[in-house]
């Protein structure tokens, strides 16, 4: 009998059946080390009408590792799910109906982690298990050559063995760390879960991927360390020096053609005739010709011989650890020639020869190019190539740039201090060429702009004070014209070089790394947007243009690249059925190609809004127009199943944008007074705000900050142009947002209601989403902002509560997942976002604890996988253990990546059954073969229908999995969740918990932006310090009346 039916588990021990008794599921082998009452704590936790938890997965607390314990529904629950210290690997226990226990909830009380210490023998045993994960047996190569012949629910024994070993050792260490027994291991020792098998569900098809197969000859690759003196941080200068060395000293290099990373790494295909050698060069920098020749010392020292055999073992699935240094060397070899021809930015190359992208305003233009990266995949090494576009400074005189950037026309007037600071910020670090000397062009790097105008600027020359204007006239016979403008400055403050703007021009090929304005973003997206057939053609054009077969560096290292896109097996998963309210004509909905509409449907859980108000800041809209819009909006909401009072609490208010804060406070105060007169103690359920006609994005942030952190109001902002049009579709979309903002649900998965989603609806499960947003380039003192959301309504998983926190500048690891503070009176106080959200789940679900955790983490690059997993899973563990000793529910930790460059195209662009109306692959297309990781658990999922351009599939990579998901189970769950996004009637491109965390993090940025000056946040009082250095400004707290809802939607 299945566990849903309350009978005996397939792999677990027997449960005490019947009603009224306690379920006593145990892991296989009885108690294991610790037994039913063994070390790890005993006793059971009870809650009124809710749950009774005794320990963790695999028997009573301290019992065998592995088996999920019994869970009883309806009454008290006996959940045996705590992570034991060791013991046998058990099976799944059982649950059955029981009698409610009349005991008060205790889970709100913070319990400090256990301080019991293991014996020395136990410590050694645990350390041994941790170390063994580095020597785990791996499946044979055949297991990774393609989809398994069996079902995904029955993976082969070898991957299962790898995962079991890896899971055991890592979890044991994590458990001990969570209880303060062992420190976290080094991230180098982490092993991610092996692929449990290949997915089988869905209609099979084939797609093309922008990956090109790469063959590498069996050559010896050597790595050398390079030290250049004097040291330079410029990769361009370092490359120039190395290129000159190769030209001048070919005879010392044994005919080798080295490739160089621009920093410390030099690689050759074969050994150099020395172990260490120093070269001394006299070189004249063409950009600094006036300085004459300069001496450079270059030391090349043997570092290592790289192992191609290990790379082949990894690609065949016989080795779990990727020899990253070998892949890096081959990648550098593939990048050497393009670096000489194009402007290199990170992994992309740009040139105006790829087609001029055009002007995008404010002195900035768009350049087209391509992205290139060598990747280890199931088909072997592949070269991932994609089309790119980014912003560059226009090559033009500085004065022209200043006029365009500041949007001024008259150069006769002086710059204001505000304009001068703006110009200083945007030009800092930009390279210019001075044009006042006809015989030579000298390059400078701008470090600042003087506060004084040219006619007031002097410097010391041979003990005398000399005017800059006089110097240019006397030295260069150049009469400066714009002497009322400030001067560019190069060099440092102690020895500055003054450069009048009118004699300087911006050098071409410099990336514009500042934050783009709305017009620039729209312009660059339009110029980069290509339909799938055009994008595929552009990618092939890049491959043919680069002609890798004749690339001399690729030849040197024995690298061959095919010129055809990879043809990959894929599957199209079926769309889920959505449930709407029974009062509508359509009670269920089957989406078509990732979209549906609200016609004949009513919201599954429409809210009641009794008290609301509206205020408008749009000068072009008459108040009567706004009143009519509000009436239409109320009608649309009520038609969709909400219950909104037809009359606002107070009449529509109108105010000027410069009086925004006072107007909002006044509306809040008037509403409160009106409600008090009616004997109502609560405040407004909703405030509708019509944004100003201009600079709406600026005012939007101010509105959200004031209402959500001070007034405690849920708001819905509307653009004036949309209010004026007031179309039906717009009103329906607003209704969807308003309903969830005030606590409702729009739709739920029918399979969730019927408890048919594997590893979600069988046991109380909480789904987390997390993201970190970083400040825009140039904001060097601004903090990063982390957001974590968690589902509150099991099993529907449609409502997500959110918490946000500020942390160190550009810090990716979320630092506030779990916190501990020592209080002189109260002692150790546990807190953090995970802990608070777990308690919220407990309160919202009838005093039931989550028995399973699924964590979707957005915004993590591959290089940060180990670090994020090590610290964030540890924080989740500690948060759970702090709520109750031994409470350690199984965790699955999945990274969601959207910023990658894999694109999937229909095999045939003319076959209508293979694509949507935009020409993109169909929503539900999933790929877990060929272009995916050779052995780890990852997949690409295109869960949305394309609108314009080429769809980007989301990449999901499982870093930790105690719930033992099969490929089909995780892919299906993830895809179904993509249909539950609250703000539209379309499936979305990434799983909603991650999407919501992304929205919440950006919302919190508005809470802080108003306080940050041009100089960063140093002038703002900070509440805490990061590593005792840069102050981290704490976010204002969101009011509880807002925080309880999905206000960020």
Evaluate if residue 811 carries a pLDDT over 90: yes
More confident residue, 781 or 561: 561
* Residue 497 backbone phi and psi in degrees, to 5: -115, 120
Strands 497-500, 486-490: pairing is antiparallel
Evaluate if residue 124 carries a pLDDT over 80: no
Most confident of 84-93, 348-357, 912-921, 986-995: 986-995
Burial class (CB in 10 A: 0-12, 13-18, 19+), 1008: buried
Kindly indicate the confidence band of residue 412, based on its pLDDT and cuts at 50, 70 and 90: confident
State the pLDDT at residue 779. Answer: 74
Instruction: Please tell me whether residue 6 adopts helix, strand or coil conformation.
Output: coil
DSSP state string for 405-431: HHT---SSSPPPHHHHHHHHHHHTT-E
Tokens 């057939």, located at residue = 533
Kindly indicate the confidence band of residue 460, based on its pLDDT and cuts at 50, 70 and 90: confident
Neighbours of 305 (CB within 10 A): 11
Tokens linked to 962? 């105690």
Kindly indicate the confidence band of residue 108, based on its pLDDT and cuts at 50, 70 and 90: low
DSSP state string for 635-682: HHHHHTT-EE-SS-SSPPEE--GGGHHHHHHHHHHHHHHHHHHTT--S
More confident residue, 918 or 71: 918
Percentage of residues in the chain having pLDDT higher than 90: 69
Spatial contact of 376 and 314, defined as CB atoms under 8 Å apart:
yes
Q: How many CA within 13 A on the CB side of residue 937?
A: 30
Kindly indicate the confidence band of residue 41, based on its pLDDT and cuts at 50, 70 and 90: very low
Q: Return d(Cα 922, Cα 928) in angstroms, integer.
A: 16
- What are the tens digits of pLDDT across the range 635-681? 999 999 999 999 999 999 999 999 999 999 999 999 999 999 999 98
Cis amide linkage into residue 795, ω under 30° from 0: yes
State the pLDDT at residue 1029. Answer: 57
Give the helix/strand (H/E) hosting 95.
none
pTM for the structure as a whole: 0.82
Q: Return d(Cα 958, Cα 645) in angstroms, integer.
A: 47
Evaluate if residue 1010 carries a pLDDT over 90: no
Domain 398-507 CATH assignment equals 1.10.8.50: no
Q: What is the mean pLDDT of residues 273-291?
A: 84
State the pLDDT at residue 945. Answer: 96
State the pLDDT at residue 127. Answer: 46
State the pLDDT at residue 151. Answer: 37
Q: What is the mean pLDDT of residues 180-202?
A: 73
State the pLDDT at residue 52. Answer: 34
State the pLDDT at residue 894. Answer: 98
Which distant-in-sequence residues (6+ apart) come within 8 Å of 119 by Cβ? Answer: none
Percentage of residues in the chain having pLDDT higher than 70: 79
Q: What is the mean pLDDT of residues 367-382?
A: 97
Q: Return d(Cα 87, Cα 66) in angstroms, integer.
A: 9
Strands 852-858, 765-773: pairing is parallel
Query: CA separation (Å) from 607 to 95, 205, 604, 728, 980?
Result: 34, 43, 10, 20, 18
- What are the tens digits of pLDDT across the range 847-858? 999 999 999 999
More confident residue, 388 or 115: 388
- What are the tens digits of pLDDT across the range 934-957? 999 999 999 999 999 999 999 999
Spatial contact of 324 and 223, defined as CB atoms under 8 Å apart:
no
- The residues spanned by each domain of the chain are 1-106, 214-392+527-564, 398-507, 606-739
Q: Return d(Cα 392, Cα 367) in angstroms, integer.
A: 7
Neighbours of 24 (CB within 10 A): 19
Q: What is the mean pLDDT of residues 456-472?
A: 88
Most distant CA atoms of the chain, gap in Å: 104
Evaluate if residue 113 carries a pLDDT over 60: no
In this structure, which topology does domain 606-739 adopt according to CATH?
Rossmann fold (3.40.50)
Kindly indicate the confidence band of residue 187, based on its pLDDT and cuts at 50, 70 and 90: low
Q: What is the mean pLDDT of residues 364-379?
A: 96
State the pLDDT at residue 464. Answer: 85
Evaluate if residue 107 carries a pLDDT over 70: no
| CA angle centred on 780, ends 779 and 784, rounded to 5° | 80
Name the CA radius of gyration of the chain, rounded: 32
Range with the lowest mean pLDDT among 10-14, 383-387, 612-616, 819-823? 10-14
Burial class (CB in 10 A: 0-12, 13-18, 19+), 27: buried
Kindly indicate the confidence band of residue 21, based on its pLDDT and cuts at 50, 70 and 90: very low
- C-alpha closest to that of 507 among 431, 434, 399, 435: 431
Average pLDDT of the chain is 83
State the pLDDT at residue 7. Answer: 38
Evaluate if residue 876 carries a pLDDT over 50: yes
Neighbours of 549 (CB within 10 A): 12
Spatial contact of 430 and 497, defined as CB atoms under 8 Å apart:
no
Which distant-in-sequence residues (6+ apart) come within 8 Å of 1028 by Cβ? Answer: none
Evaluate if residue 557 carries a pLDDT over 60: yes
State the pLDDT at residue 442. Answer: 86
Q: What is the mean pLDDT of residues 39-46?
A: 37
Evaluate if residue 276 carries a pLDDT over 70: yes
């Amino acid at each position: 009998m299945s566990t849903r039916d309350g009978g005996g588990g397939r792999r677990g021990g027997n449960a005490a059946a019947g009603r009224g008794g306690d379920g006593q599921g145990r892991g296989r082998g009885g108690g294991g080390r610790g037994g039913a009452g063994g070390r790890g704590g005993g006793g059971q936790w009870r809650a009124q009408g809710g749950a009774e938890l005794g320990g963790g997965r695999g028997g009573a607390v301290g019992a065998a590792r592995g088996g999920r314990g019994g869970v009883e529904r309806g009454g008290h629950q006996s959940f045996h799910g705590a992570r034991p210290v060791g013991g046998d690997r058990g099976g799944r226990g059982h649950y059955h109906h029981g009698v409610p226990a009349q005991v008060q909830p205790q889970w709100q009380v913070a319990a400090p982690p256990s301080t019991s210490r293991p014996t020395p023998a136990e410590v050694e045993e645990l350390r041994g298990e941790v170390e063994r994960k580095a020597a785990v047996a791996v499946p044979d190569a055949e297991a990774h050559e393609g989809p398994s012949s069996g079902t995904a629910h029955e993976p082969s024994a070898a991957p299962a063995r790898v995962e079991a070993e890896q899971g055991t050792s890592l979890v044991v260490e994590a458990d001990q760390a969570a209880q303060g027994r062992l420190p976290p291991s080094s991230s180098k020792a982490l092993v991610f879960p092996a692929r449990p098998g290949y997915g089988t569900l869905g209609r099979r098809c084939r797609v093309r991927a922008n990956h090109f197969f790469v063959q590498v000859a069996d050559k010896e690759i050597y790595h050398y360390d390079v030290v250049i003196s004097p040291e330079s941080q410029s990769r361009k200068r370092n490359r120039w020096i190395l290129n000159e060395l190769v030209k001048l000293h070919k005879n010392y290099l044994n005919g080798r053609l080295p490739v160089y990373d621009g920093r410390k790494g030099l690689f050759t295909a074969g050994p150099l005739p020395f172990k260490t050698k120093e070269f001394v060069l006299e070189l004249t920098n063409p950009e600094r010709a006036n300085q004459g020749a300069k001496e450079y010392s270059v030391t090349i020292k043997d570092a290592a011989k790289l192992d191609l055999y290990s790379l082949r073992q990894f690609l065949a699935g016989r080795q779990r650890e990727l020899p990253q240094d070998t892949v890096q060397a081959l990648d550098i070899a593939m990048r050497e020639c393009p670096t000489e021809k194009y402007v290199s930015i990170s992994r992309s190359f740009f040139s105006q020869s790829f087609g001029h992208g055009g002007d995008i305003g404010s002195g900035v233009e768009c350049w087209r190019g391509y992205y290139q990266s060598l990747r280890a995949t199931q088909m072997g090494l592949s070269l991932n190539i994609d089309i790119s576009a980014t912003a560059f400074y226009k090559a033009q005189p500085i004065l022209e740039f200043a006029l365009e950037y500041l949007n001024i026309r008259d150069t006769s007037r002086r710059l204001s201090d505000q304009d001068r600071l703006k110009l200083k910020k945007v030009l800092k670090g930009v390279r210019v060429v001075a044009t006042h000397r006809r015989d030579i062009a000298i390059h400078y790097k701008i470090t600042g702009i003087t506060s004084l105008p040219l006619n007031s600027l002097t410097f010391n020359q041979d003990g005398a004070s000399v005017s800059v204007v006089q110097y240019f006239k006397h030295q260069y016979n150049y009469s400066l014209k714009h002497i009322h403008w400030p001067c560019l400055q190069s060099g440092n403050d102690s020895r500055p070089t003054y450069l009048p703007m009118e004699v300087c021009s911006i050098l071409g090929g410099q990336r514009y790394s500042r934050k783009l304005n709305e017009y620039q973003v729209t312009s660059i997206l339009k110029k980069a947007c290509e339909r799938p057939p055009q994008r595929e053609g552009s990618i092939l054009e890049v491959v043919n243009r680069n002609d890798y077969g004749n690339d001399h560096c690729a030849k040197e290292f024995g690298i061959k690249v095919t010129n055809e896109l990879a043809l990959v097996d894929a599957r199209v998963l079926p769309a889920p059925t959505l449930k709407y309210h029974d009062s509508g004509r359509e009670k269920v909905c089957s989406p078509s190609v990732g979209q549906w509409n609200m016609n004949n449907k009513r919201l599954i859980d429409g809210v009641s809004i009794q008290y609301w108000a509206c205020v408008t800041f749009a000068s072009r809209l008459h108040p009567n127009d706004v009143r009519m819009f509000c009436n239409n909006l109320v009608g649309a909401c009520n038609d969709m199943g909400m219950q909104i009072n037809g009359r606002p609490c107070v009449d529509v208010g109108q105010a000027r944008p410069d009086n925004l804060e006072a107007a909002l406070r006044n509306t809040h105060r008037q509403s409160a007074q009106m409600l008090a007169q009616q004997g109502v103690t609560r405040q407004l359920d909703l405030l509708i705000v019509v944004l100003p006609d201009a600079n709406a994005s600026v005012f939007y942030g101010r509105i959200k900050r004031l209402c959500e952190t001070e007034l405690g109001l849920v708001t819905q902002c509307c653009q004036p142009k949309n209010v004026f049009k007031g179309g039906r579709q717009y009103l329906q979309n607003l209704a969807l947002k308003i309903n969830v903002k005030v606590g409702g649900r729009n739709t739920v998965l029918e399979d969730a209601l019927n408890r048919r989603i594997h590893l979600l609806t069988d046991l109380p499960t909480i789904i987390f989403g997390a993201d970190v947003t970083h400040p825009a380039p140039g904001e060097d003192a601004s903090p990063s902002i982390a957001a974590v959301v968690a589902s509150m309504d099991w099993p529907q998983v449609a409502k997500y509560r959110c918490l946000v926190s500020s942390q160190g500048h550009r810090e990716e690891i979320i630092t506030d997942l779990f916190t501990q503070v020592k209080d002189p009176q109260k002692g150790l106080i546990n807190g953090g976002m995970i802990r608070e959200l777990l308690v919220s789940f407990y309160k919202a679900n009838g005093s039931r604890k989550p028995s399973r955790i699924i964590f979707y983490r957005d915004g993590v690059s591959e290089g940060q996988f180990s670090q994020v997993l090590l610290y964030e899973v540890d924080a989740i563990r500690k948060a759970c253990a702090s709520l109750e000793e031994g409470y350690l529910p199984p965790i699955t930790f999945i990274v969601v990546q959207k910023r990658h460059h894999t694109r999937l195209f229909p095999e045939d662009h003319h076959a209508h059954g293979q694509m949507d109306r935009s020409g993109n692959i169909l929503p539900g297309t999933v790929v877990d073969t060929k272009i995916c990781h050779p052995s780890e658990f990852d997949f690409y999922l295109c869960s949305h229908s394309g609108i314009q351009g080429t769809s980007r599939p989301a990449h999901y990579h499982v870093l930790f999995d105690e719930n033992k998901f099969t490929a089909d189970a995780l892919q299906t769950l993830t895809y179904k969740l993509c249909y539950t996004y609250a703000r539209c009637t379309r499936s979305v491109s990434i799983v909603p918990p991650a999407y919501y965390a992304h929205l919440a993090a950006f919302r919190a940025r508005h809470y802080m932006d108003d306080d940050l000056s041009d100089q960063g946040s140093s002038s703002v009082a900070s509440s805490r310090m990061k590593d005792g250095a840069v102050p981290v400004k704490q976010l204002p707290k969101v009011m509880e009346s807002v925080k309880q809802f999905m206000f960020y939607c």
